[in-house]
Amino acid sequence: MLNIIAVFLGGGIGSLFRYFVNILFTKYDGANLPFATLFVNITGSFILGILFVFFMQKTNLHPAWRLALSVGFCGGLTTFSTFSVEAFELLKNSQFLIACIYILASVSVCILAAAAGYCIGGCIGKYV
């Protein structure tokens, strides 16, 4: 039951962060590229990269914390479904170049962000 509560709380906090990022980006969004979704997916990938290494090194961390931070927070923060719908909308509206840029940037930059988080997590883990 504790694990379920941990995922619930972490997911709620991550979802609120995503909501606030959407509000912030809507104020300043002048382009057709969905920057809010791109930002939260890159950020979530980076954070999960750090957490992955941290969890490997800190094996005594309670499983509820692991679930709250990874499945909960990062899962609530990031959004593959919104990315998919936004990419589809761009394609449907014949914005093929922007759609390709969005899809390629989302996938490649998120993988790079996860790798950067993994490397940084490894460095931080030596001192924590």
Q: Given this model, what pLDDT does residue 128 score?
A: 65
The segments of the chain whose pLDDT lies below 50 read none
What span, in angstroms and rounded, lies between the C-alpha atoms of 114 and 105?
14
pTM (predicted TM-score): 0.89
Residue range(s) defining the domain that contains residue 69 = 2-125
Q: Given this model, what pLDDT does residue 30 score?
A: 62
CA neighbor of 44 nearest in space, from 110, 105, 115, 120: 110
Q: How many domains does the chain have?
A: 1
Range list of H helices, 1-128: 2-28, 35-57, 63-67, 75-77, 80-92, 96-125
